[in-house]
Amino acid sequence: MRALGSLTVIFAFCCYVPLAIAAEDSVTITSPADGAMLNMAEQARIDYEVTRGPNGDHTHLYVDGKEKKVLRQLKGSHKLDPLEPGKHEICIKLVNKGHTPIGVQQCINVSVK
Amino acid sequence: MSLQDLGYALVQVAHNFGAVAIVGGAAFMLFMAPQPGSMQRKFAWLVGLGWGTQALSGMAFGAISYHYYGSFPDIHGIAIAALAVKMLCVASGLFLVALYLRYAGNWPDQRRHNAWLILFTLGAIALTSAAFLRWFS
């Protein structure tokens, strides 16, 4: 009976600890900064870092609301297609294995001249 | 293990067995020794059940996503095309199975063979599209 109790405690501990130390889902666009001014002559590049928590799997990159690329690396850099002059919104959304956005995202606004 | 993951996994189980039924059932009728009419009819039911399972489990994937996140999977381009092809295959498969169950009693062997060939081809196309749907978005 005591062995059963010990096993129960060990099982509960094993189930609990991964949840307790699991990282939270997060997305960070490290470059360019929000509000940055980009030069149309230079190909823009976006740098990002992703932390996968319990629900996130990979990310989708959007420019002005249109999906441009599936990003599967947790940390990386992606060259953007040439942007027209003016203001643009760039977003990276964390999605689950079924490509559903889980509500974790970062968006920045840039201006291209 | 979360309920969400369990839900996705159980739906995936149904989706996988549906795929096995539509391709395996049609392949058996196509490539194995000719079967008596009663057996062909049983396999037509099996394949039809498989197509129905594919349709329902496909919708269930979307329903789980909507339930937990308030949105459906965010897919574009190739993935949208792959989904459209899959849906077309499901509709065609269900229609052909219905025709088979209703009229195949009077069909010559060659026409039955052609029906199984089409069902097998639809299954293969649907499975191929599923891979593109999974890895593109």
Q: Tell me: the pLDDT tens digits for B94-109? A: 999 999 999 999 999 9
* pLDDT value of position A35: 95
CB contact under 8 A, A100 and B72: yes
CB of A18 within 8 Å of a chain B CB? The answer is: no
Residue B69 near residue A101, CB atoms below 8 Å? yes
Task: Report chain B residues whose CB lies below 8 A from the CB of A67.
Answer: 74, 76-77, 137
**Cα B18 from chain centroid?**
6
Alpha helices in B32-108 (DSSP H): 37-69, 77-103
CA gyration radius, chain A: 20
Residue A58 near residue A90, CB atoms below 8 Å? no
Instruction: Give percent of chain B with pLDDT exceeding 70.
Output: 99
* Nearest Cα to Cα of residue B116 among B64, B39, B3, B56: B39
CA torsion, ordered A25, A45, A30, A84, to nearest 10 deg: -90
Mean pLDDT (chain B) is: 95
pLDDT category at B122 given cuts 50, 70, 90 is: very high
* Nearest Cα to Cα of residue A31 among A62, A81, A94, A77: A77
Residue B105 neighbours by CB distance under 10 Å: 11
pLDDT category at A4 given cuts 50, 70, 90 is: low
The Cα B21–Cα A102 span in angstroms is 33
Q: Is the pLDDT of residue A11 over 90?
A: no
Candidates B11, B76, B80, B133, partner chain A, best to mutate (most A CBs within 10 A): B76
Taking each helix axis from N to C end, the angle separating B109-135 and B37-69, rounded to the nearest 10 degrees, works out to 20
For B1-20, what is each residue's pLDDT tens digit?
689 999 999 999 999 999 99
CB of B75 within 8 Å of a chain A CB? The answer is: yes
Residue A82 neighbours by CB distance under 10 Å: 11
The beta-carbon neighbor of A101 closest among B69, B77, B136 is B69
CB contact under 8 A, A70 and B136: yes
The Cα B58–Cα A98 span in angstroms is 11
| pTM metric for this prediction | 0.81
CB contact under 8 A, B65 and A98: yes
The Cα B109–Cα B116 span in angstroms is 11
For A16-73, what is each residue's pLDDT tens digit?
544 445 689 999 999 999 999 998 888 889 999 999 998 999 999 999 999 999 999 9
Structurally, at CATH architecture level, domain A23-112 sits in Sandwich (2.60)
CB contact under 8 A, A101 and B72: no
CA angle B83/B88/B89 to nearest 5° reads 95
CB contact under 8 A, A54 and B2: yes
Q: Is the pLDDT of residue B66 over 90?
A: yes
* pLDDT value of position A17: 47
